[in-house]
Amino acid sequence: MLYLFCERSDNLFIWFFRNDSVASVFMALSALFMTTPRFFFVQMCVLLALIPLFYYNGQRGGESHPALNKWFFYIFYPAHLFLLGFLKCWIF
């Protein structure tokens, strides 16, 4: 709401929270909770991506069967996009 009273609205929001990271996190969370429930659900699902990122150790995995891994992901990626698109059309 503060940006309504400033000429340079893009800088005021950043300047207001420049020294208080806790307040900026709470402001971001409150903005998230003020959105629609569907958007909130999507954002919570995005947080699931943090789980494999947390366990990543910096090394490549699956070197024992590189051809199997390659073809698994060549098939899995388009198949899961097709499945998600089908579910979206079927549910909504």
pLDDT tens track for 36-61: 677 777 778 888 888 888 888 888 77
pLDDT of residue 44: 80
Residues 2, 45: one domain? Answer: yes
Q: Which residues contact 2 (CB under 8 A, 6 or more apart)?
A: 12, 13, 16
Residues 46, 1: one domain? Answer: yes
pLDDT of residue 89: 92
Return the closest-CA partner of residue 13 out of 23, 25, 2, 5. 2
Residues 29, 70: one domain? Answer: no
Which stretches of the chain score pLDDT less than 50?
A: 1-5
pLDDT of residue 1: 43
Residues 10, 38: one domain? Answer: yes
| Overall domain count for the chain | 2
Amino acid at 92: F
pLDDT of residue 84: 93
> Distance (Å, rounded) from C-alpha 14 to C-alpha 27?
11
Residues 14, 38: one domain? Answer: yes
Residues 11, 48: one domain? Answer: yes
pTM for the model: 0.37
Residues 20, 43: one domain? Answer: yes
Q: Which domain holds residue 89?
A: 65-92
pLDDT of residue 79: 95
Residues 44, 3: one domain? Answer: yes
